[in-house]
């Protein structure tokens, strides 16, 4: 499914409101003047307020499991607004709130 490509300036949050940022965006491919993000590197999550009684803690990192099928940057699939990630250790998804709106990928 087509979607706008995620870049360093995209707003991505965990389900509990923590801010997610890519560990290593691709510096060679720019969209709207900012590096794109790819599937391989994880995202780090800061400020997740979730503290469950079971003790599996707040969201710390997230790994992407679905990315673009046809568009690569540096040999890795780019992330789009339709990509999906799983947070560790909670197992909840990331929410992609805002992306650039000029370049799409499938």
According to CATH, the topology of domain 3-99 is Tumour Suppressor Smad4 (2.60.200)
- What angle (nearest 5°) sits at the alpha carbon of residue 34, between those of residues 98 and 70? 75
Provide the pLDDT for residue 51: 84
Residues in the chain: 106
CB count, 10 Å around CB of 2? 12
Is residue 75 very low, low, confident or very high in pLDDT (cuts 50, 70, 90)?
Answer: very high
Q: Report domain extents, the chain.
A: 3-99
Asked whether 21 and 9 are in contact (CB, 8 A), the reply is no
Provide the pLDDT for residue 19: 98
- Mean pLDDT of the 27-55 span: 93
């Amino acid at each position: 499914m087509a979607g706008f490509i995620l870049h360093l300036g995209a707003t991505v949050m965990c389900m509990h409101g923590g801010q997610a940022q890519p560990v290593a965006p691709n510096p060679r491919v720019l969209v709207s003047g900012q590096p794109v993000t790819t599937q391989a590197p994880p995202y780090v999550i800061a400020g997740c307020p979730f503290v469950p009684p079971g003790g599996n803690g707040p969201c710390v990192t997230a790994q992407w499991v679905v990315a673009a099928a046809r568009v690569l940057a540096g040999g890795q699939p780019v992330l789009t607004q339709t990509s999906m990630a799983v947070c560790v250790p909670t197992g909840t998804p990331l929410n992609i709130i805002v992306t650039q709106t000029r370049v799409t990928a499938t």
